[in-house]
Structure 1
Amino acid sequence: MLRCAELGLSAEDLDSMTMGMVYDMLIERANDHEKYNYKATQADIDAFFG
């Protein structure tokens, strides 16, 4: 619950979320400080979904 509070999630928010959604948010928050060497282009995205 502490980590959810740090994300600004209320008990009402959690009622409509799965654990997977909460885990995804926690992972994204942990990655906020990461610097990536490569930014995907539209061609990369098209190749991924192509």
Structure 2
Amino acid sequence: MTTPLFLLRCVQLGLSMGDLDLLTIGLVNDMFTERENDDCNYDSLATQEDFDAF
């Protein structure tokens, strides 16, 4: 990832320069990935029984 791409992602997430003092590059990437996945619709969601069986 280039520096301009990283800064673009920060702007898209609404992060300030002060926020970047507290965040790592990996955390910013994870936040961006999760934001992109917000509109995903999953066919099924796991229930408690699914977690217990796992």
What is the percentage of aligned positions where both structures have the same residue? 56
Q: TM-score, normalized by length of structure 2?
A: 0.71
The runs of at least 4 consecutive aligned structure 1 residues that moved more than 4 Å come to: none
Q: Which runs of 5+ in 1 are unaligned?
A: none
More helix by share: 2
Other structure's SS at 1:32 match: helix
Q: TM-score, normalized by length of structure 1?
A: 0.75
Pairwise CA RMSD: 1.5
Q: Which runs of 5+ in 2 are unaligned?
A: 1-6
1: CA distance, partners of 2:8 / 2:46 = 34
Aligned residues: 48
**Paired letter, 1:8:** G
